[in-house]
Structure 1
Amino acid sequence: MMSIAFSVFLAFVQHASAHFQLTYPQWRADSFNDALNYSQWTYPCAGVPFGVGNRTDWPIHGGAVQLDLHHPWEYVHINLGLGTIVTDSFNMTLTADATKVTGRGKFCLTYLPLPDDILEGLDGQNASIQVTNNAADGNTMYNCADITFRANAKVPEGACVNDTGMSAVVVTQPSPSVAPNATTPTASSSPTSTPNSAMGASAGGVAFAGLVGLAVSLLQV
């Protein structure tokens, strides 16, 4: 007979494998914590309230988002809400179209530009990032991260990587995951990455600004 301890462990593994993690910027709190009634199926931030813990410095000219994905494929959207206390007003999208990611493992969006018209005076301002995930099983899941925009912020080394076998394509079909009335950033120029830049934390990363409909292969360094 299967031991109780092993049954609990197996249930945890199955529970975790059906969800996703937001590892950079660091998520608001561990949304796997059922004891606190957190659930990644709960809009807008998996039931995790504002102010429970983590806040990360994030580049004002566009930063990275690192995920750990556990489904064979999923559609990913990144939304933004400005302000110190953001509950459900994620009214700006940083991904104009859905990004379909195939593969299980670490996946990084290396550069998410902000709208030019909000950059002035943004240094030191607080905001929150919402990641929505439409998975292969038909469920929509959520995680959030609280950030502070910093002019001198850099993506930490090793924080933005892509596992071998991960791939992504930007699609133009509508998706319910984009926040209602959300605005879309327009990059003034195409981003570039250099080995010594913050966005160069992963040479296998992908800059998604302006890549509508373009298939991208993600290679691990």
Structure 2
Amino acid sequence: MTFIALITSILALAHKASAHFKINYPTWRSDTFNEALNYSQWTYPCGGVPDGVGNRTEWPITDGAVQLTLHHPWTYLFVNVGLGSSVTNFNMSFTPDLMNVTGQGGFCLPSLSVPMKVSDGTNATIQVVTSGDSGSALYNCADIVFRSSAKVPAGVCKNDTGMSAVIVGHSSTTASNSSATAACPSSTSAHNSATGIAVEGIALAAMLGLACVFATGAV
């Protein structure tokens, strides 16, 4: 391979990686970065990965979390969920309002609960949808089983320095500030209530339709 061809290949791979994202927790259905697996994150609803691939993560019925690695300078983000062992309809959302995340790196949504009553042992699939400057949507899924005894592993939910998020249409904005603290809503309660949550490394605003800021720490 010539030097120019090598550089072209490297740049092409870098561009591809920058346009995609990863679900770190719960464990995603499959590694859709792996070209050998012939999956594509552009494919609805789960990046081309069919049911039955990968394992189910035991996930809390209340106060779950979704940890991502984002590669765009900014990203529109939706996190949806559907119940069942073979989900075709992601008809509930952990992010009922469009979220705009700024920054590249680790990003966590903490204290998530399915917006309806579920029983211990219920199977479900979490679908993460992102869109950046290309305007096209990218998809990944993580299969879970709800457990009343499950807890988010210590240190899993964290945000890299410089990450921030706002609900589109809200005037609230944030900047990275490791000393800032505030109350943040829990999806287990009504949208006009709030509970304190600590998340490592960033300030994060306006989750679930209300402005909030997370402080340095870990969930």
State the TM-score, normalizing by the size of structure 1: 0.79
Q: Considering only aligned residues, what root-mean-square deviation do their CA atoms show, in Å?
A: 2.6
- 2:189 matched residue in structure 1: 187
Describe the shift of the 1:205–1:48 C-alpha distance in structure 2 as closer, same or farther (beyond 3 A): farther
Q: Residue 145 of structure 1 aligns to which amino acid in structure 2?
A: A
Contact 1:112 1:207 in 2 (8 A): no
Who is 1:11 aligned against? 12
- Equivalences for 1:1-221 in 2 at 5 Å? 1-2=2-3, 8-86=9-87, 88-115=88-115, 117-119=116-118, 122-172=119-169, 187-188=189-190, 189-193=193-197, 202=200, 204=202, 210-212=208-210, 214=211, 216=212, 220-221=216-217
SS at match of 1:118: coil
Q: State the distance in 1 between where 2:205 and 2:102 align.
A: 17
- Give deviations 1:139-167, integer Å, cap 9, x for gaps: 21000000010111111122111010001
What's 2:177 paired with?
A: none
Instruction: After TM superposition, give the deviation of residue 61 of structure 1 in Å.
Output: 1.1
Q: Which residue of 2 aligns with 1:182?
A: none
Say how many residue pairs are matched. Answer: 198
Change (3 A) 1:64 1:20: same
Gapped regions of structure 1 (runs ≥ 5): 174-184, 194-199
AA matched with 1:74: T
- In 2, Cα distance between equivalents of 1:15 and 1:49: 22
Higher relative contact order (CA closer than 8 Å, sequence separation 6+):
1
Q: CA deviation at 1:137?
A: 2.1
Question: Aligned residues: percent identity?
Answer: 51
Q: Is the 8 A contact 1:63 1:155 kept in 2?
A: yes
- TM (normalized to structure 2)? 0.79
How far did 1:19 drift? Answer: 0.5
Q: CA deviation at 1:217?
A: 5.2
Separation in 2, partners of 1:52, 1:218:
34
Query: How far 1:190 moved relative to its partner?
Result: 3.0
**SS, match of residue 35 in structure 1:** helix
Give the Cα separation in 2 of the matches to 1:165 and 1:220.
12
Deviations 1:1-26 (A, max 9, x none): 41766654443332111101111111
Q: Distance in 2 between matches of 1:130 and 1:53?
A: 15
Gaps of 5+ in 2: 171-186
- The change in CA–CA distance for 1:201 and 1:168 in structure 2 (over 3 A counts) is closer
